[in-house]
Structure 1
Amino acid sequence: MKSVKKRRRLLFCLLLGILFCLSAVNYCLAESTEANGGNGLLITFKTGVTKHQAKKVMKKVNVIAKDKMFQRKGNTLLLRLDSSEMRRQAISKLKKESAVASVQPNYRYTLGETSSSGDSFIDRQWNLDYMDVPEAWDLIDKVKPQALRDEKDKVIVATLDTGVDYQHPDLQKNVAIENCVTVADRESPYPVYGKALPSSHGTGTAGIIAATSNNGIGIAGIAAGNHNDLISLMAINVFHSEGYTSQASASTVDIIKGIEYACAKGAKVINMCLGHSEGDSDLFGLPHDDAALEAAINDAVYKKDVVIVCSAGNNGDARIWYPSDFDATISVINTKKYKNAWSRKCKTGRSNFGSSKDISAPGRGVYTTGLDGSYKKGCGTSMAAPSVAAVAALVRYVNP
């Protein structure tokens, strides 16, 4: 896996350098969380275990699955148990079963909020200038003139976030409303949401990727191109409004549902600005690892040819941060507006960093879309990651 990631990373960086000149080493806004035991347990059975065999194991340890099998050919179950003692007993018993590959909490992931501003002019989008975005659009027009393009050529991009205000005037051209669905605490078929969560986070990440270009208002998304015909964005809501560390939260189960929905709808790039730290202990005193989510990510990347981009976290240190530090993802740190690309002063102070991170992009003072037709200025790795996801989409458009 590691060698595959190294090859993918090298290829991506080479293409990125040709297409963009993304200078500097950069970082700034992701998220933190702990597991919530009341949110359930995930039991993953080994490959080859049938549903009948799984039911026998569940009966033997006297636990009942309240949610149907949902992931990777049906070998993962979600249990909801009433008390922490019941959960501890279930974990102890299930770990002894030879048919069981892993038992873990249904982890909670959170997102960080961005600072906001009322200004919204494209000449203030310094990130576009630093990334040579207008030049990249012109290059794409030369490589593939508009007259030769087709709707099926569009790269499908998914953001797993708090949903998007798709009625925003600057998000009309590149967002596929029929694929703006809520998966949090829902079963398929997932409903199109009428409005995003009160958090503007998802609308902000969507704007960086897909805000309409050349329409005379607001900003331009990095993957919009000169003619708004390069991508189709689906904004999947994996969060719910229930408070968790004063923020919306998403569970392992709902993130996996979002990944699987995106893949089923043909997404080739997925952006996730959410996370938790390995260093925190869960309800059972165990370190976070989330094998179930990593397996779903590996399936999307290595079997379905999807690029998954994640924010690196905003703790200002080198701690492990999931899902960005899983081997199959591209982990993005963020930079501020710098003068010398070789200076350590490029990186913002709050951004995570370290050998597990892969690449950087502008993330401080970045203008993007907000709720109810507004605009805001954000800071964090949640501003940087969608920039890289947008670049990945442009690379895939030119050379799928």
Structure 2
Amino acid sequence: MDSVKKYFENLFGKVISTDDPDFKRKRLLVITVTIIIVIILFIPLVFFAISALGLKESIKDLEKTKGQKTFSLTAPYVPDELIVKLKASYTEEELARIEKKFKELGVVSQKKAFESEDPLLRNYYLLTFKKGTDIKKAGQELTDLRELVGVEPNYLVEVQASPNDPFLGQLWGLEKIQMQKAWDISQGSNSVIVAVVDTGIDYNHQDFVGRNIIKGKDFSTCDLYSSNDSCSSPKERDSDPMDDHGHGTHVAGTIGAATDNNIGIAGVNWNITLMAVKTIGKDGRGTTQDIVDGVVYASDNRANIINLSFGQSSSCSGSYQNVINYAMSRGSIIVVAAGNNNVNAQNYSPASCSGVIAVGATTSSDGRASFSNWGSVVDIAAPGVGIYSLSPGNSYKSRNGTSMAAPHVAGVAALLLAANSSLSSAQVESCLVRGADPINTDKPIGPRLNAYKALTTCLNISPVPTGASPTGMPTITLSPTPSQVVHEIYGGVFIDANGNKAWDAGESGYSGAQITTSGMQALSTLTDTSGIFSFPNVAVGSYSVNLIIGGQIRATAGAFTITNNTRQIRVFFFLPPSILTPTTIGEQAPSPTPIQITPTVIQTTPTLSITRQTSPSPTPIQTYTCRESTPAKKPLPGSIKIGSLVCEPN
């Protein structure tokens, strides 16, 4: 008892006495308080230790996933199919890893996704898997495979229109955009080709009699999709783009139904050449694969303007952006529907792709159509409610949709080119937007198209005085160009693994770097998944090209001059661990500081198949380039086969 008494007296002095009759109760209270104090002090330490361990594991997990991309499915897609992009060349070990992964995932066939042999599109392949494959899981595993540049679903697209009362509205849209006054300036030209990449065109319609119509091709591969998005009625591609749906004929009628013929309606253009390119089946749906081939066909066949009145609920994919870059590099102006989902168009394609003219829909009172997508990517609006136009079988129909708004813009763009064929894509867009009428809408869809003001704004024509009734076509003085050369700044950003300031086989591109130009035009874009960037249809003048990473200009190439005869200038940036050095093909920059470059001007789109050793080692590494196996072309000796792919030694 004395020892206990001494303990408590030492601990609490005389506060608690062992002689106290309540000693036991007070002792218990003190012990309890002591235990509580210890717990209060100890538990945070435990939690801190646990949190530290958890943080350590989280950091490990973060390090594991750093740089990984997530594969997602954001819109209806074709089951058991994926579109992948291969690198320009491979080592034997890399090919072995690809073959192993394909076998693990149940790939049953590989074929070229698109018909084009252009470097932007030729390395895309369509993979077909065993029936019932979990495409999201397969897509993620292939996305994680470093040997592939890109992976995306074979998305389904839909036309952006819906039927309406066939007698509603008639041609209020043409009146709203002041077509009567515009026709006194330009009535179009048969030398301007507008491609309608859609469900085809009923080229036998009575309101197309006398109209120049190029019968392109039918790229659609399915007439009817089932409820689970698989094709229940597959079809072969052919050379007849006849419309069996009606959407494409309606779009084409707005652009160029025969005018002043005492039949039916009037199109925006009195004179025009239409190109029918069918990419969508009779149920109003098509695939990414079919769309891309249709756009390539249109641009390869000299379409000045390509109208795309369809869409899907996903942001712009690599294949969509590449085919748009491809078409623009050949001088085509791309006009697209903003979409009919009443959502931000930045999550919709092709409206969210760079370089397109995205069109929202307005009502007769200049309000935003309730269905029209909106947002900063929508450049301009046009009538899209109760639009009366052609329907197959010599009939007519009224439809709603951004699909109906887009051809108004495409048609006026054609009028601008008819008046001045030297206008670039950027200049045409500027004419359309600057000449449009400001409107107040609940959500942004840009100004509303005004054909008359677009023409007077860009052609420097004095407006017709109110009440005047001009006759005939005014004489317009234009500045001719020596030739219809399309000017492009093209290049890439690469990780320079061996520090030789040059691209070597196996070196990856740097995705997402911002590239800007200064000088004649201030332009901006991001490098794609391959590290490639392109500014198609740039104006003649002096330029510098800047590489921006982390918000800072890290290197500048230029200045250089694009002349009337310049086809293309290529600028490449190489990123070693501690230096950013711009250079052009055939040159090596001596220092990381901005340098004057001598542009390399070529007449074709460049390829990344640059012949170099992959490293400064004594023995060069053998690399292979893959293609689709065809009976007409035998594989080179030493080739490696992966299913229907043939990878030939370089």
TM-score range, shorter chain: 0.7 to 0.9
- Deviations along 1:97-117, one digit per CA (max 9) or x if unpaired, are 433111111111112443244
Instruction: Give the Cα separation in 1 of the matches to 2:303 and 2:266.
Output: 21
Q: In the alignment, which residue of structure 1 is the partner of 2:368?
A: 347
Of the three residues 296, 313, 317, the one matched with 2:343 is 317
Q: Report the 3-state secondary structure (helix = DSSP H, G, I; strand = E; otherwise coil) of the residue aligned with 1:159.
A: strand
SS in 2 for 1:253: helix
CA distance in 2, matches of 1:112, 1:51: 45
- Match of residue 45 from structure 1: 86
Q: For the residues of structure 2 that align with 1:134 and 1:51, how far apart are their CA atoms? A: 63
**Does the alignment pair 1:109 with 2:145?**
no
Q: Which deviates the most, 317-326 or 93-102?
A: 93-102
Residue from 200, 206, 210 that aligns with 1:163: 200
- Per the alignment, residue 77 of structure 1 pairs with 125
TM-superposed CA distance for 1:234, in Å, is 1.1
Match of 2:220 among 171, 184, 187: 184
- Relative to structure 1, the CA distance from residue 389 to residue 86 in structure 2 (aligned partners, 3 Å threshold; closer, same or farther) is same
Deviations along 1:258-300, one digit per CA (max 9) or x if unpaired, are 001101111111111111123xxxxxxxxx5422112111221
Aligned pairs for 1:6-21 (under 5 A) are none
Q: Is the 8 A contact 1:272 1:309 kept in 2?
A: yes
Query: In the alignment, is the contact (CA less than 8 A) between 1:159 and 1:235 conserved in 2?
Result: yes
**Aligned match of 1:193:** 240
Question: Residue 363 and residue 92 in structure 1: after superposition, are their counterparts in 2 closer, same or farther (change >3 A)?
Answer: closer
TM-fit CA distance, 1:119: 4.2
Task: State the distance in 2 between where 1:51 and 1:174 align.
Answer: 54
Q: How does 1:11-160 map to 2 (within 5 A)?
A: 34-38=75-79, 40-46=81-87, 48-49=88-89, 58-61=98-101, 62=103, 63-68=107-112, 70=114, 71=116, 72-73=118-119, 74-85=122-133, 87=135, 90-119=138-167, 124-140=170-186, 154-160=191-197
Distance 1:69 1:318, change over 3 A: closer
Letter in 1 for 2:174: L
* CA–CA separation in structure 1 for the residues paired with 2:92 and 2:161: 45
Q: Report the residue type matching 2:301 in the other structure.
A: K
- The equivalent of 1:334 in structure 2 is 361
Relative to structure 1, the CA distance from residue 174 to residue 57 in structure 2 (aligned partners, 3 Å threshold; closer, same or farther) is: farther
Structure with the larger strand share: 2
Structure 1 CA distance, aligned partners of 2:213 and 2:164? Answer: 26
Query: How far apart, CA to CA, are the structure 1 residues paired with 2:316 and 2:93?
Result: 26
Q: Which has the higher contact order (CA 8 A, sep 6+)?
A: 1
Go from structure 1 to structure 2 and tell me whether the alpha carbon gap of 1:357 and 1:120 turns closer, same or farther (over 3 Å shift). Answer: closer
Does 2:417 correspond to 1:396? yes
Task: Give the match's secondary structure for 1:316.
Answer: coil
Distance 1:326 1:216 in 2: 40
Q: Aligned-pair distance for 1:378?
A: 1.7
Q: Give the C-alpha shift of residue 90 in structure 1.
A: 4.3
| Counterpart Cα distance in 2 of 1:191 and 1:85 | 30
Letter in 1 for 2:81: G
Q: Does 1:377 align with 2:398?
A: yes
The alpha carbon displacement at 1:213 in A equals: 0.5
Are the equivalent residues in 1 in contact too, given 2:166–2:388 (CA < 8 A)? Answer: no
Q: C-alpha separation between the residues in 2 aligned to 1:120 and 1:193? A: 32
Instruction: Work out the CA distance in 1 between the residues paired with 2:132 and 2:388.
Output: 44
1:253 is aligned to 289
Query: Could you tell me the TM-score, scaled by structure 1's length?
Result: 0.74
Q: CA deviation at 1:54?
A: 8.9
Aligned mates of 1:328, 1:264 — CA distance in 2: 18
Distance between the aligned counterparts of 1:321 and 1:92, measured in 2?
22
Distance 1:120 1:163, change over 3 A: farther
Cα distance change on mapping 1:193 and 1:263 into 2, 3 Å: same
| Counterpart AA for 1:159 | V
Query: Are the structure 2 counterparts of residues 218 and 99 from structure 1 closer, same or farther at C-alpha, using a change threshold of 3 Å?
Result: same
* Residues 78 and 127 (structure 1), Cα distance of their counterparts in 2 relative to 1, 3 Å cut: same
Distance 1:346 1:86, change over 3 A: closer
Offset of residue 193 of structure 1 = 2.3
Give me the whole-angstrom Cα distance separating, in 2, the residues matched to 1:315 and 1:43: 28
By how many angstroms is 1:135 displaced? 2.1
Letter in 2 for 1:126: W
Shift of 1:323: 0.6
Separation in 2 of the partners of 1:209 and 1:260?
21
Match of 1:265 among 278, 288, 301: 301
Contact 1:211 1:219 in 2 (8 A): yes
Evaluate the alpha carbon distance shift between residue 194 and residue 130 of structure 1 in structure 2; reply closer, same or farther with a 3 A threshold: closer
Partners of 2:337 and 2:403 within 8 A in 1: yes
Q: 1:220 aligns with which of 252, 258, 266?
A: 266
Give the distance between the partners of 1:306 and 1:171, measured in 2 at CA.
Answer: 24
CA–CA distance in structure 2, aligned partners of residues 99 and 120 of structure 1 = 55
Change in Cα spacing, 1:100 to 1:387, as seen in structure 2 (3 Å) is same
Deviation at 1:233, TM superposition (A): 0.8
The one-letter code of the counterpart of 1:389 is A
Alpha-carbon distance between aligned partners in 1 of 2:405 and 2:201, rounded to the nearest angstrom: 18
Partner of 1:296: 323
1:89 to 1:55, Cα distance in 2 relative to 1, 3 A: farther
Q: For each residue in 1:313-364, what CA deviation from the matched residue of structure 2 results, as whole angstroms up to 9, or x when unmatched?
A: 12223352211121211110111112xxxxxx62222212121211011111
- Asked whether 1:172 is paired with 2:209, we answer yes
Residue pair 1:166, 1:177 contacting (<8 A) in 2 also: no
CA distance 1:88–1:391, change in 2 (3 Å): same
Match of 1:274 in 2: 310
Instruction: Give the Cα separation in 2 of the matches to 1:49 and 1:174.
Output: 47
Shift of the alpha carbon at 1:96?
A: 3.8
1:202 counterpart (227, 244, 248): 248
Note if contact 2:167-2:397 (Cα within 8 Å) is conserved in structure 1.
yes
Using the TM superposition, give the Cα deviation of residue 42 of structure 1 relative to its aligned residue in structure 2, in angstroms: 0.4
- The root-mean-square deviation of aligned C-alpha atoms, in Å, is 2.8
1:350-361 residue pairs with structure 2 within 5 A? 350-361=371-382
Code of the aligned partner of 2:380: I
Q: CA deviation at 1:93?
A: 4.3
Higher helix share: 1
Q: Structure 2 counterpart of 1:309, which letter?
A: V
Moved more, 80-89 or 209-218: 80-89
Contact 1:120–1:375 (Cα < 8 Å) also in 2? no
Query: In structure 2, what is the Cα distance between the partners aligned to 1:359 and 1:300?
Result: 21
| Percent identity of equivalent pairs | 32
- The residue that corresponds to 1:9 in the other structure is none
User: Partners in 2 of 1:54 and 1:387 — Cα distance?
Assistant: 50
What amino acid maps onto 2:181 in structure 1? E
Q: What secondary structure is seen at the aligned counterpart in 2 of 1:364?
A: coil
Alignment CA distance shift 1:49-1:83 (3 Å)? same
By how many angstroms is 1:209 displaced?
Answer: 0.5
